[in-house]
Structure 1
Amino acid sequence: MKEITTTELAEKRKADKSIHIVDVREDEEVAQGKIPGAYHIPLGELADRQDELDKSTPYFIICRSGGRSTMACQFLNEQGFDVTNVSGGMLAWEDEVE
């Protein structure tokens, strides 16, 4: 599975505002702040909502600490998506949030 650190993702995001980030945390976690522009699909809804994602688009998957995003990446990878896990999750994110 491909992985990226939060620092690398923040740098990539600054260089290319069009990257696609999917946040798989629960609603109450996202309400406390998320990466600007990140798309929110809670992990428990991912199987039912995977049609909202485009298989030709690379996605960076993030959660609180990296566990749920790892599961999300495994599932999406099996479905044919190009995904990269964000290691450390939002606990390690030091850039802007909305």
Structure 2
Amino acid sequence: MAALRSEATVGTEVPDRYLAQLCKHFAHEIPISCSGTEGHAEFGFGHCTMQASERYLVLVVEAEDEQSLARMQRLIGLRLERCMWRERPVINWVRSS
């Protein structure tokens, strides 16, 4: 089980669209499960849970160590920025327990 956890809540008009784009992108490389409002990506060094609500996309990354957690945050953040390039998302990761 992952020891470290970080969360980001990103405001958008179409969170389900960006959830689907993230899942589709990562599905080419790693195991993904994705429904209309939830997704889970399993990387070798951590995992990410994604949830779309009415106005937000919530991202939770978990990893065993600081380096892997930072890598997860960077990887997910960069991909989301590419998907949301028109909106210029603000992605602030907050450590949680």
- What TM-score, normalized by structure 2, do the two folds share? 0.31
Greater strand percent: which structure?
Answer: 2
- What TM-score, normalized by structure 1, do the two folds share? 0.31
Greater helix percent: which structure?
Answer: 1
